[in-house]
Chain A
């Protein structure tokens, strides 16, 4: 069993839909990261959070420390949001990565 589990594995949405990707972790972590991997393979860090909620544009990330659960929300989704979204937890230099959620937004 992976230390970090994501759901769903694959997600297809119509443009404009509200999207939620979930992440659960079973190890103690000091921070939770959401990453975006584009089709070419490069990865961009979207959020790093230890508690509460963060918002950047149409993206919102939340974390519930007690339940060891985080969610990434995308409002008013757009085809350019199509990518793989990866959840990761870290404690010091040790990172635990989920297997990713592949999102496709259809025009």
Chain B
């Protein structure tokens, strides 16, 4: 079945450490997104990409980096510059057309600080 796979489900980071969250999709979608979810807040956009080798900063990109070397993959690195990384991270993808399209979401990665 087609879908989005995020891994790992749970991740722990030590102070000063970079960690990378994986997001893979086999839906043949052009657009991919990374969101951060904190308690009591709506999803906030970190980065998005509409095409391979191109990506744009979202509302809260500081302390994060991404790459889009393959259509299927959009990994997110949480760098040591992100001072408050504890959150739930969701990856999504969608078709890029002139018409509105729903986003398809992964099951998320919960990141905690040790």
Binding site for B on A (CB under 8 A): 2, 4, 30-31, 33, 35, 40-45, 48, 50, 86, 88, 90, 93, 95-100
Contact = CB atoms under 8 A, between A and B. Distances in A.
B42 A100 contact: yes
A41 B89 CA distance: 9
Given A41-B88, A99-B41, 9 more contacts: A41-B108, A42-B105, A42-B108, A43-B92, A43-B108, A44-B105, A48-B102, A86-B42, A97-B44
Contact of A4 (B42, B50, B107): B42
Interface size class of B (residues with CB under 8 A): 20 to 34
A18 B42 CA distance: 25
Given A40-B107, A41-B110, A43-B90, A97 B43 contact: yes
A31 to B, nearest CB: 4
A68 to B, nearest CB: 16
Contacts of A97: 42-44
Contacts of A86: 42-43
Interface in B95-114: 100-108, 110
14 contacts: A35-B105, A41-B88, A41-B107, A41-B108, A43-B92, A50-B100, A90-B100, A93-B31, A93-B50, A97-B42, A97-B43, A97-B44, A99-B41, A99-B42
A59 to B, nearest CB: 15
A33 B42 CA distance: 14
Nearest to A92: B100
Contact of B42 (A2, A42, A50): A2
